[in-house]
Structure 1
């Protein structure tokens, strides 16, 4: 295999397949022709050599196609004839830095240096390759290809069906069924294997056995321990000094083989089993207990715990850059995806995202606090993301059982940061509410939703409309739902504003016909009841009766869950179907610790209902909510929030825990126009 082919097939292509996007930085123009040759089979190559502007436009278009279903684009490689950005300032100036965030970059680390790549491609000719590089630090590909023209290890090549020494070693480590049978049927290959190990890795086999299993055991231990030693920033513990490991010249080959064993789904399980057994046999956790920095690679499972501890400590110290770097380096680790580790790393990442988002939005908030409209637009365009990150964080908290109590400080730190942001935004909001009133002038209110969006459609002959009343579907969830539905159908997202006081009793009544003109609150006994004209509309039956009286046989209603499970078709006479769901709101009030996982179920049921409605001949699906919610996960049972008597209008908002601007979600389900 030529060095160009090796870099294409064994280095760059796997990264594109794994990440979707690869940015190649090449100030020496060494890899340009090589990259251009990869433009095939759905992989598109954008060359920024000639025109940065045109290449940016092409890259952005292709990136969009990557996330589109049924797209022929399977990967994107961007060639940039410039050095890779190192600092944050460099990344800000680099127009292609965002693509490296979406995917990966080349070169990345010492293993991607030209010399290292050549050593990986031809591990049994390391001496000759190094001699070439001593004379010329940038030898042509043809010079490297000319090294080692003779063919060695003929028996192993024939038995394993492999050409390069690197592939032979891989076959000896994890032979497939055919290779395994061939190795067991004879032992003529053993002498060649001993010579191969010595020439490429510096390993002198101690075992005299000729069985593959014994040889493989020694090869595995030598390989994994060598990577561990290469990555260790300090001296190997004295108790491990006699354990054989490779010389530094074999570092590229050792790291490449280990990476390949971990990243290949066919060999990952074998790697995990071998690494766990070797760690136990060498007693590594005990012998390395005093080492705080084990490097960057996590060859053995016990190393993952030290990386996690470093990330945890960095987050406690608010060193977000260090946390981000640790998470990035270990995102694809074989150990972070196992059992409780996966939940712990997920919680660390969720906490980091929440803290970073809160810091960012807190800095921006003063610039969007001049008027009520400014604050609302800020929430709609960006601040809502803080709610999403907080919801995902609390979900991660619920998924993780903190038996050791080590996550407590981080959890509280993230909650305090979100609470501080929410409090600052709420203080701005309440001041503006006193000055400007509610709802905002010139914006759609919930009390006008039915008359503006539903009633006009029902006036068209034969038009069928589904009206989904989803309790507590706050705006960021509406955005998530819109994105999910948009994968199949056109979707419009509108904003409407909740009726005060923003409680279910009032909010659901505001979504009825004529609510904008006729809805009122009437004092009764110790509380208030909502009235639509002269009609009390304080419960579901009363609200549905209003619609039934107005639309007669054209109206039907049921719970969302019942409709999703129902097999019986609706009568063709039904032109207005109301589907109701209170799952999010009721669960948040009664079982907040389990509700977040149920939110996704509610969104899923809505998507299923939309598909069923389309098949049933409905032209429009309009999804609305009465209010949102503020998820106060840190509230204790005895906490209270007293209203201020000097501000009677605000008493409702201050004492209601789910105060949030409400929005409408509009979905057009394939109407002929």
Structure 2
């Protein structure tokens, strides 16, 4: 590509994205170029001759773009060429008559990367040395630089490799055996190649190297070692003094070679093998142990562990800014593509983010916590805007999710994860103590906060009184407020979303919370003794189980009502689902109970489900939007506390009493004696409980009355008793998009491990990302069951679990097979449209797990 073509491409991209481009060219390097520049629907205004006339012309075009007298002019773009330097300070910008257009669109040419020398290097990186030389000697013109593209210095190299670009040729022969063999097969090519290597990177083979095979080994070591050395901010150890060194003038080409090898999917595998080999040959890990600092480039794998150690040291020093700086630098490291290493870095980044959040929450809460009322604490925990104390819970959930999913031994980061767990309890319990004190003084429900018993009557029933409304009411189990925030953010593209905090009924159990979400519950919900148990009752109607609650809604709304679970929605084709729910105006969607999941398949999977439930609800809501549901109301029975394990001493004895309901965090009945510093005894009327119980005994802090796993509820805490209400007014039926070009590939046609490192690429001309679900199924039929899904990686949206694909970029996506017993002969990996469930791409792999 010529420099002119490259600049033309850059302008087209900016015009397409911003519509208005102001091009500052103080050196007038592009004065001739601008006279012939053309683009579809683009008006070019040159300010060379008259600033005043140009300003008037630009204003006229701008008016046509926004208030066209001809519809054809509504799609106009505007390019303004200004042969002057852009102002830096505000006074200079105010005096520039074209700055306002740059503000409305984008400026070009005011950054170093957008000036002629840098643009030339980007256009033809293989000519970097010559470009640098030309600018050092004078001021080359654009036409002179364009001619570099057509100058072939090495015709035999061009014949052998298809390129005579030094950086491209070196990268190809080092990473691809078939390309390397062409050096020998084209007569005279090696003789032509060696002087080029000497000129461009300073490489000269040792005398003992007689064959191209031997020279290639030396070349690989030379290139990688010198990238490492040139990038080093300190002196190399004397151990390496005998190795050939490149001059500083060779740095650009050597860096370009290594970037090409690491950044290209066709060369990356060869680079990894070469880097590991050179690192071992030179014993770099051992011989660089005493280096005070490494460079920032990604040459060798040993640096990855060194940087990880540095991050952990910074965390120990409470230097989170420098820890985050390294995490940002290393986020796209080639060595993170290895699943286990990538997972470790992901967990560390989540831990660092959590610690920064814990510091912020602690700083804010310490200033005013002890003087805050109950309502003020809830407002600080769940404010109308995005950031509140609930963010502490969110980031704790995310690092715990990563730690739970991690399959390695965790030795490197175990202490960091444990430190974060202790830190969570330290900050959360300080707030919890004050919160409980306020409940003791003020009672429950908190004044000015929406009651759980008001949700249906205020936010669901009115919608059903209006014609043509199709309402989906989600009864989510164990949804913390922060999870509702994540859900709301993920739904913003579908319409107008609002999130409110809701004060749940006490105790925070599923039967009580779900009953509170029924019609006419406010003021009428009671707990009544029946056969030695306390059960929720509305009027005379027992609502102990889900079937009782659904029957109540069925009787009230008749054929307009139906209840369903998310998997029943997601497993059906859109057309069939639309027919099934065509006459339904109130659809109640019931999520799974994490308590029952823990009992049947274990606590680890229950904890995983708590993180996955948000993505499941997003997918369900999208599917329902597709078939015409207009309103969505999402709330929960209660929240939950999530810790790794119950600390020693936090399992406390129950006070003596006639307890009708005995739960992990609370007791309901009649207190007799034995109150301790670890419990609070409330009169039931003090905390909004009507019925046959006189007293509610609650464990303080996050203590429990019985040994349990690290997930629990039933007590009184912000995490358990403040749940979200998410209200979505959908924009209407979602239109399905045409099938995108998505490609899935794996290094083998079989899998022999429960983790499959899938490569995914999305091809598209425009710079618009898309989101997909990537899942594994135990066959290719419609009845195939899901056996795995994409797990944590950079491209995964942590709220929805979907993979974000950027156009024309191949990424690595780890697929975790969930089942311990996959007996099918093959699995099918699928890229799925999250809105409709349509399969966009698939890849079949043979099962060799048992081999």
Same fold (TM over 0.5): yes
Asked if the contact 1:124–1:165 (Cα under 8 Å) also holds between the matched residues in 2, the reply is no
Find the counterpart in structure 1 of residue 670 from structure 2: none
Structure 2 vs 1, CA of residues 249 and 115 (structure 1 numbering), >3 Å: closer, same or farther? farther
- Which deviations, in whole Å up to 9, do the C-alpha atoms of 1:508-543 show, x marking residues without a partner? 110011100311223567663222112222222322
Higher deviation after alignment, 115-124 or 563-572: 115-124
- Which deviations, in whole Å up to 9, do the C-alpha atoms of 1:283-321 show, x marking residues without a partner? 333433444633333311122111111111211222112
Are positions 1:455 and 2:455 aligned together?
Answer: no
Find the counterpart in structure 2 of residue 334 from structure 1: 334
Aligned-pair CA distance for 1:551:
3.0
- Which deviations, in whole Å up to 9, do the C-alpha atoms of 1:308-336 show, x marking residues without a partner? 11111211222112211211221221112
- Which deviations, in whole Å up to 9, do the C-alpha atoms of 1:569-601 show, x marking residues without a partner? 537554433221234454468844333432454
Structure 2 vs 1, CA of residues 610 and 560 (structure 1 numbering), >3 Å: closer, same or farther? same
Find the counterpart in structure 2 of residue 661 from structure 1: 722
Which ranges of structure 1 fall in alignment gaps of 5 or more residues? 43-49, 51-57, 59-72, 74-78, 84-95, 97-104, 133-138
Asked if the contact 2:2–2:123 (Cα under 8 Å) also holds between the matched residues in 1, the reply is no
- Which deviations, in whole Å up to 9, do the C-alpha atoms of 1:604-627 show, x marking residues without a partner? 432343344345554433222111
Higher deviation after alignment, 422-431 or 599-608: 599-608
Separation in structure 1 between the aligned mates of residue 28 and residue 476 of structure 2, nearest angstrom = 55
Q: Going by fraction, where is helix more abundant, 1 or 2?
A: 1
SS at match of 2:265: coil
Separation in structure 1 between the aligned mates of residue 165 and residue 240 of structure 2, nearest angstrom = 32
User: Within 5 Å, which residues of 2 pair with 1:166-565?
Assistant: 166-174=167-175, 183-206=183-206, 213-291=213-291, 293-366=293-366, 369=369, 370-380=372-382, 381=385, 382-383=387-388, 384-401=390-407, 403=409, 405-460=411-466, 463-523=469-529, 528-565=534-571
Asked if the contact 1:447–1:511 (Cα under 8 Å) also holds between the matched residues in 2, the reply is yes
Find the counterpart in structure 2 of residue 155 from structure 1: 156
Asked if the contact 1:7–1:117 (Cα under 8 Å) also holds between the matched residues in 2, the reply is no
User: Within 5 Å, which residues of 2 pair with 1:565-580?
Assistant: 565=571, 569-570=579-580, 574-580=584-590
Cα RMSD of the aligned pairs, angstroms, is: 4.6
- Which deviations, in whole Å up to 9, do the C-alpha atoms of 1:105-143 show, x marking residues without a partner? 9879xxx999999997655559956964xxxxxx64549
Structure 2 vs 1, CA of residues 403 and 607 (structure 1 numbering), >3 Å: closer, same or farther? closer
Give the TM-score normalised by the residue count of structure 1. Answer: 0.75
Asked if the contact 2:340–2:408 (Cα under 8 Å) also holds between the matched residues in 1, the reply is no
Find the counterpart in structure 2 of residue 643 from structure 1: 679
Separation in structure 2 between the aligned mates of residue 243 and residue 115 of structure 1, nearest angstrom = 33
Asked if the contact 2:485–2:724 (Cα under 8 Å) also holds between the matched residues in 1, the reply is no
Q: How many residues align?
A: 600
Asked if the contact 1:501–1:652 (Cα under 8 Å) also holds between the matched residues in 2, the reply is no
Find the counterpart in structure 1 of residue 617 from structure 2: 606
Which ranges of structure 2 fall in alignment gaps of 5 or more residues? 42-50, 52-61, 63-76, 78-84, 90-101, 103-109, 653-677, 688-695, 705-713, 734-851
Asked if the contact 1:4–1:141 (Cα under 8 Å) also holds between the matched residues in 2, the reply is no
Separation in structure 1 between the aligned mates of residue 537 and residue 608 of structure 2, nearest angstrom = 35
Separation in structure 1 between the aligned mates of residue 727 and residue 397 of structure 2, nearest angstrom = 23
Structure 2 vs 1, CA of residues 207 and 143 (structure 1 numbering), >3 Å: closer, same or farther? farther
Separation in structure 1 between the aligned mates of residue 399 and residue 238 of structure 2, nearest angstrom = 43
SS at match of 1:621: strand
Find the counterpart in structure 2 of residue 627 from structure 1: 638
SS at match of 1:481: helix
Structure 2 vs 1, CA of residues 159 and 547 (structure 1 numbering), >3 Å: closer, same or farther? same
Structure 2 vs 1, CA of residues 526 and 553 (structure 1 numbering), >3 Å: closer, same or farther? same
Find the counterpart in structure 1 of residue 592 from structure 2: 582
Separation in structure 1 between the aligned mates of residue 38 and residue 213 of structure 2, nearest angstrom = 42
Separation in structure 1 between the aligned mates of residue 320 and residue 431 of structure 2, nearest angstrom = 23
Aligned-pair CA distance for 1:455:
1.8
Separation in structure 1 between the aligned mates of residue 539 and residue 38 of structure 2, nearest angstrom = 68
Aligned-pair CA distance for 1:414:
1.4
SS at match of 1:516: coil
Q: Going by fraction, where is strand more abundant, 1 or 2?
A: 2
- Which deviations, in whole Å up to 9, do the C-alpha atoms of 1:45-73 show, x marking residues without a partner? xxxxx9xxxxxxx9xxxxxxxxxxxxxx9
Structure 2 vs 1, CA of residues 444 and 646 (structure 1 numbering), >3 Å: closer, same or farther? closer
Asked if the contact 2:469–2:630 (Cα under 8 Å) also holds between the matched residues in 1, the reply is yes
Structure 2 vs 1, CA of residues 573 and 337 (structure 1 numbering), >3 Å: closer, same or farther? closer
Asked if the contact 1:316–1:409 (Cα under 8 Å) also holds between the matched residues in 2, the reply is no
Asked if the contact 1:627–1:660 (Cα under 8 Å) also holds between the matched residues in 2, the reply is yes
Structure 2 vs 1, CA of residues 3 and 82 (structure 1 numbering), >3 Å: closer, same or farther? farther
Separation in structure 2 between the aligned mates of residue 221 and residue 644 of structure 1, nearest angstrom = 70
Aligned-pair CA distance for 1:256:
2.6
